[in-house]
Amino acid sequence: MDADAIAEGRRRWQARFDAARKREADFTTLSGDPVEPVYGPRPGDRYDGFERIGWPGEYPYTRGLHATGYRGRTWTIRQFAGFGNAEQTNERYKKILANGGGGLSVAFDMPTLMGRDSDDPRSLGEVGHCGVAIDSAADMEVLFKDIPLGDVTTSMTISGPAVPVFCMYLVAAERQGIDPAVLNGTLQTDIFKEYIAQKEWLFQPEPHLRLIGDLMEYCATGIPAYKPLSVSGYHIREAGSTAAQELAYTLADGFGYVELGLSRGLDVDVFAPGLSFFFDAHVDFFEEIAKFRAARRIWARWMRDVYCAKSEKAQWLRFHTQTAGVSLTAQQPYNNVVRTAVEALAAVLGGTNSLHTNALDETLALPSEQAAEIALRTQQVLMEETGVANVADPLGGSWYVEQLTDRIEADAEKIFEQIRERGLRAHPDGQHPIGPITSGILRGIEDGWFTGEIAEAAFQYQRSVEKGDKRVVGVNVHHGSVTGDLEILRVSHEVEREQVRELGARKGARDEAAVAAALDAMLAAARDGSNMIGPMLDAARAEATLGEICGVLREEWGVYTEPAGF
Ligand SMILES: C[C@H](C(=O)O)C(=O)SCCNC(=O)CCNC(=O)[C@H](O)C(C)(C)COP(=O)(O)OP(=O)(O)OC[C@H]1O[C@@H](n2cnc3c(N)ncnc32)[C@H](O)[C@@H]1OP(=O)(O)O
């Protein structure tokens, strides 16, 4: 790009920056020297390929979505939390908010994630263990007691039974006297990554996609600020993928949901802002930063050029980041604080919109209160002390980072092509029911391609650790005397007994005829193809349980068993 075009871009950026709101803060170095909000080529310099880098706040958004970067608003500190029953978790949430957490993020227990009630025989021993137990809207009400849902953005990490859990959340908001239309938050919902990596599905992909389509339609028309999908690479990476696979599979999944929305006749500029993303921040500092920058650029280009999105928000890739659970070690666990800080820094330099930092003991158990606080403080040290929020995309223009960004983008494009080809092979006539990328994803799930590719990458990495090529402190190098004398959070089995007692009492007190009628109406909608959110909401209002709602649908749609593959 020639110097005049670069200067013209800088003028556009300056106009946007001047017009935007900025935080009241000291934007100088520790020594008191002023720093600019963004840096670019020196006036008069040309820069080949600068159109791929550009300025923060404009297409292709490599350098961030906002002209002000974090000077406008810092990232959201959003610590993922949940354990025991709704009351215990509610206490933890209030502490997070009191300590400066910017939003909430709900972790559910395994029965809830699988759409089972706490009194289901399969739930035995799992209730409240890896997250909070939620059986009905009454639990959701307790979960957010004294937390005004209209004021706090809340993320809920659940995908198989995402839609009924969302309905319970709406009912909790109604019971707080809040109009659901004003809610802002995120529901994970992303079912593709369940088949690809995490393995928490309820049905075959098709009925899940139908429910997700209903949800997208409902939110696009009724709850405009809500993000009904958080398309996740985190679980793909944690399963052992490479950075490029994480990026490509996740963005391809995102394209799949765009195709789903389009196939339902929705306007891309209306529903696409409801798609958000979720990535892993692993320990290779520069590769991760490049991955985040490439993610924004690829998404903007595909949304504009392939799916014809015109509005900025429909081209924006907004993402949450979690530091890498798999990088934590049980050996010398205090070192995990350092790993997490480095990973969090990569996320911030990559322009994350929201961030969770893992606690040092998470490789052993759910975080203790003290470990959770250190994790939160890690973000606050980065945000308040280090100066990283002063300048947008401070690594933009680094030869290394720019080349890594280009390389990871090119790797991702090759993977998209492989996925598209699988879709075309599945439908040589070009008649994909939803779209070519979606068909490729479904084919890749069916024939175990994704899981095979991830398993191969995980195997290669593990082999290199065992050979000592890749070094992990405390594991294959620098064994030392730091011991794990950690206090571990243990969830009492009394939680399960109490939750089951409470559920029984609630079932005894509700209007059974109203529950039965609501479940029948929901089943009728499942059969006639109409949007299922309304009747599911009625079932949640009547205190139908999660297990009952999912049970009716399992009966109707059947369950999914993964094809065996070697
Ligand atoms: C591993 C584990 C498991 O499975 O067990 C998990 O999955 S845990 C998974 C946990 N998942 C999560 O916690 C997902 C979290 N995701 C989210 O919170 C969202 O989807 C998100 C990534 C879009 C972040 O949303 P957010 O509200 O925190 O942040 P946003 O970036 O949207 O910012 C909030 C508002 O401020 C505006 N804003 C932000 N920065 C600026 C700026 N510099 N200038 C002007 N405006 C700005 C945004 O446009 C937006 O307004 P406007 O809205 O008007 O544009």
Distance 105 CA to ligand 1 centre (A): 11
Distance 510 CA to ligand 1 centre (A): 37
Nearest CA, atom 55, ligand 1 = 313
Nearest CA, atom 4, ligand 1 = 157
Which pLDDT belongs to residue 432?
A: 86
**Strand order through the sheet with 104-107:** 80-81, 104-107, 154-157, 185-187
Distances (CA, A) of 332 to 143, 368, 461, 485: 35, 17, 21, 9
Q: Cα 456 to the chain's mean position, in Å? A: 24
Mutate to test the pocket of ligand 1, among 74, 154, 186 (most ligand atoms within 8 A of CB): 186
Residue 184 CA: nearest ligand 1 atom is 27
The b-or-e profile of 298-329 (16+ CB within 10 A means b, else e) is bbbbbbeeebebeeeebbbbbbbbbbbbebbb
Residue 130 CA: nearest ligand 1 atom is 5
Residue 103 CA: nearest ligand 1 atom is 28
Distance 277 CA to ligand 1 centre (A): 9
Which pLDDT belongs to residue 430?
A: 81
Place of tokens 């290394």: 400
Phi, psi of 311 (to 5 degrees): -80, 150
Q: Can you tell me the ipTM of this complex? A: 0.99
Dist. CA 442–CA 447, nearest whole Å:
9
Nearest CA, atom 9, ligand 1 = 157
Cβ 231 vs Cβ 253: under 8 Å: yes
Residue 235 CA: nearest ligand 1 atom is 1
DSSP state letters, 463-492: HHHHHTSS--BTTTB---S----PPPP---
119's CB contacts (< 8 A; 6+ apart) are 500, 503, 504, 547
**Long-range CB pairs of 218-221, under 8 A, 24+ apart, other chains included:** 218/531, 218/533, 219/271, 219/274, 220/261, 220/266, 220/267, 220/270, 220/271, 220/274
Distance 155 CA to ligand 1 centre (A): 9
**Strand order through the sheet with 319-323:** 76-77, 354-356, 319-323, 275-281, 229-232
Which pLDDT belongs to residue 483?
A: 66
Q: Output the ligand 1 site: residues, CB below 6 A.
A: 20, 66, 68, 72-73, 76, 78, 80, 103, 105, 153, 155, 157, 186, 188, 225, 227, 230, 234, 276, 278, 318-320, 322, 353-354
The b-or-e profile of 510-530 (16+ CB within 10 A means b, else e) is eeeeebeebbebbbebbeeee
436-446 helix and 399-426 helix, angle to the nearest 10 degrees: 80
Nearest CA, atom 31, ligand 1 = 353
Nearest CA, atom 54, ligand 1 = 225
The structure tokens listed for 425 are 């092979």
Nearest CA, atom 40, ligand 1 = 73
Distance 521 CA to ligand 1 centre (A): 35
What does each of the 566 residues of the chain score in pLDDT, given as a tens digit?
999 999 999 999 999 999 999 999 999 999 999 999 999 999 999 999 999 999 999 999 999 999 999 999 999 999 999 999 999 999 999 999 998 888 899 999 999 999 999 999 999 999 999 999 999 999 999 999 999 999 999 999 999 999 999 999 999 999 999 999 999 999 999 999 999 999 999 999 999 999 999 999 999 999 999 999 999 999 999 999 999 999 999 999 999 999 999 999 999 999 999 999 999 999 999 999 999 999 999 999 999 999 999 999 999 999 999 999 999 999 999 999 999 999 999 999 999 999 999 999 999 988 998 999 999 999 999 999 999 999 999 999 999 999 999 999 999 999 999 999 999 988 888 888 899 999 999 999 999 999 999 999 999 999 999 999 999 999 999 997 766 678 888 888 899 999 999 999 999 999 999 999 999 999 999 999 999 999 999 999 999 999 999 999 999 999 999 877 65
Which pLDDT belongs to residue 76?
A: 96
Distance 75 CA to ligand 1 centre (A): 8
Dist. CA 561–CA 203, nearest whole Å:
9
